[in-house]
């Protein structure tokens, strides 16, 4: 009994805890996964929205997107004569 009481006993309260570096790594991984899931959900919503539209609307949206990409993302304006003689929908 006396021999056991003389041995130094080391007790640490936070033996199995995570370090700050490990926690930051885990949080970064979670954020990356969250972004990936959000992008996948947005892609799914766009595909569903497109599928709901009729064929003429899909073609019109496709043409508009092509024109917008060709002219840049800031401004999108058709030439004067094209706007003048374009069919209204």
What are the tens digits of pLDDT across the range 19-57? 999 999 999 999 999 999 999 999 999 999 999 999 999
The answer to whether residue 68 scores a pLDDT higher than 70 is yes
C-alpha 85: how far from chain center: 40
- Distance between CA 62 and CA 70 in Å, rounded? 12
Kindly list the distances between the CA atom of residue 71 and the CA atoms of 13, 58, 60, 89, in Å, as whole numbers in the listed order: 64, 20, 17, 22
Pick the more confident residue, 73 or 64.
Answer: 64
Pick the more confident residue, 77 or 55.
Answer: 55
Kindly list the distances between the CA atom of residue 74 and the CA atoms of 11, 66, 89, in Å, as whole numbers in the listed order: 64, 14, 24
pTM equals: 0.50
Give me the pLDDT at residue 34, please: 97
53 φ/ψ angles, rounded to the nearest 5 degrees: -70, 155
């Amino acid at each position: 009994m006396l021999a056991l009481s003389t041995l130094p006993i080391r007790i640490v309260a936070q033996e199995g805890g995570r370090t700050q570096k490990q926690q930051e790594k885990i949080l970064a991984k979670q954020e990356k996964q969250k972004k990936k899931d959000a992008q996948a959900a947005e892609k799914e919503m766009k595909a569903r929205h497109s599928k709901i539209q009729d064929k003429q609307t899909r073609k019109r949206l496709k043409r508009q997107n092509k024109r917008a990409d060709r002219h840049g993302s800031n401004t999108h304006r058709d030439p004067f004569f094209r706007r003048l003689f374009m069919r209204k929908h």
